[in-house]
Amino acid sequence: MADTLKSEQLRASLVQSCVPEMDVVVHESIASTNDWALQQSKAGRGLPFACFAEEQLDGRGRRGKQWLMPACSNIAMSLAWPFVLPVQQMTLLPLSIALAIAETLEAVGLEQVQIKWPNDVYVRGKKIAGILIETQPVSGESGDRCLAVIIGVGLNFDMGSLSGEQRQSLPPFTDLCGECQHQSVAERASRADVAVMLLQHIVDLCGRFQHDAKRNLERFRSHYDFCRDKQIILRLDDGQRLEGTACGVNDDAELLVSVDGRECRFNSADVSVKAMSETIMSKKP
């Protein structure tokens, strides 16, 4: 298949980066790129490294949600990156990684790209990518206590092979191929080229993260915040359901929500934006 991913091409794309000799592995089929990266980090594999999968059989997102990935159709990757502890800005990492994905989509010509707190990327109001960040304590080369941060990214490239039943079981989503057609992008990038750009953007962001974390937060606030000023529904870890108006994020990337006239902040929640019809109905006396 012409659009398969090749580890040599992915590694070569990093020659001008801060990690020119980083190992990149492409799996034909794997249960989960994040699980593999966590296992490899625990076993002492040198950091950083990345892996991609042509087919992911048991992909997962936040809160145990499944991520469907037909073979050779989307992009599933995990990057294992070392952070020396303590890293004060780690709460800003998910939004920063989402920015790197947004930049990749804009680089291939897409517009109306936004980020839904804490780590989903949307195009024209529909999800196109998600992030799952996990950690594994490791020892650095100099004996420093480090954290191997596993950054898992799922990007919908072409979801055309999904059945109607599969589509109905998922929240509204979109993919890069469909968006390029809808937005009349003159020349659509190949899946392999998008994977290269995505890896470059995320590696570059990780290399500058501790210096640029606050600037990334301001960019999110000013240009990419999908939830801002919208009526949202929050489902908390304890099962509680709340409704309110999203008011942005604070300096720790916690979501600020006006609930019954008081401002609340959340560092973990499942967030959905209420449809316009729901909002109108809720305002009726």
pLDDT in tens, 1-45: 457 999 999 999 999 999 999 999 999 999 999 999 999 999 999
What SS3 state is found at 163?
Answer: coil
Mean pLDDT of the chain: 89
192: pLDDT confidence band, cut at 50, 70 and 90?
very high
Walk me through the domains of the chain, giving residue ranges and CATH numbers. Answer: 7-224 (3.30.930.10), 231-283 (2.30.30.100)
Q: What is the pTM of this model?
A: 0.90
Q: Are the CB atoms for 226 and 273 separated by under 8 Å? A: yes
What are the C-alpha distances in Å from 128 to residues 119, 242, 257, 258? 11, 25, 24, 27
139: pLDDT confidence band, cut at 50, 70 and 90?
confident
Q: Are the CB atoms for 134 and 150 separated by under 8 Å? A: yes
Q: Are the CB atoms for 51 and 27 separated by under 8 Å? A: yes
284: pLDDT confidence band, cut at 50, 70 and 90?
very low
84: pLDDT confidence band, cut at 50, 70 and 90?
confident
The answer on pLDDT for 63 being more than 60 is no
